Structure 1
């Protein structure tokens, strides 16, 4: 499983191309030849970049959903809206499709942030706002999500 690390500030050019930072490009080297899937995020105004192998694992799970259940069908349609395949060019740039660029409200300065096995691409101001908005609630969220008493001694502090 891919485990990406890092948050990087970059700039997008007028055509929507972004130079992937060298440290992240190195982490993606083993999966970049197969390409990526880029899509709208579900919960935030950002874009998600999935290595194709990670995307295929997710699609396997989604393929198990009953398509004759209306909620499942609606979820699949909305989740896959705007999905596109992309590749890094020979110089290591990623071309962000215009509709996704607009969805994320990207202007010029962006933040590329690892999210375990995928990459989030944010407008810099929106990223900073999301981090600042969540700062006050993060301790409560951490306790709720990670604070299972059965994991005593797991080394996380």
Structure 2
């Protein structure tokens, strides 16, 4: 599993190309040749960039869903809507397709943020707003998600 670290600001050109920050390029060096999958965010107006290995692990989970249950089929369709295979060129640039630029409301200023095993690509203003919106309840969220009260396995 890939573990990415960092948050970086960058710019997209008029064609929707962005230069991968050197720190991410270095972290992703072992998987650059395998390619990536770019998709719409599930909960936020951002894009998610999956190294192919991570995408394949996720697709193994998706393949276990019973496609004869309507909600599973609907979920798969919506989750994979707009999915694109992406390659990073020799200079470290990636091209964001127009439909995904529109979905995420991306302008020229971007933020690339690590989210454990994937990168999120945000319009800078939307990213800052999402972080500001989450600040007030982050302590409660952290306790709920990481406190492990529900399974008795407290972190120590």
Q: Provide the C-alpha distance between the structure 2 equivalents of 1:128 and 1:102, rounded to a whole number of angstroms.
A: 18
Whether the 8 Å CA contact 2:36–2:51 is kept in 1: the answer is yes
Partner of 1:151: 154
CA-to-partner distance for each residue in 1:18-63, whole Å, 9 max, x for gaps?
A: 0000011000001111000000011000000000000000000000
Partner of 1:127: 127
Secondary structure of the 1:48 match is strand
Residue 90 (structure 1) shift:
1.1
Partner of 1:95: 95
Partner of 1:7: 7
Secondary structure of the 2:110 match is strand
Secondary structure of the 2:34 match is coil
Change (3 A) 1:115 1:152: closer
What stretches of structure 2 of length at least 5 have no aligned partner? none
The answer to whether the aligner puts 1:80 opposite 2:83 as a matched pair is no
Written as runs of structure 1 = structure 2, the 5 A alignment for 1:1-150 is 1-149=1-149, 150=153
| RMSD over aligned Cα atoms | 0.7
TM-score, normalising length: structure 1:
0.96
Change (3 A) 1:147 1:102: same
Q: Kindly tell me the number of residue pairs found equivalent between the two proteins.
A: 153
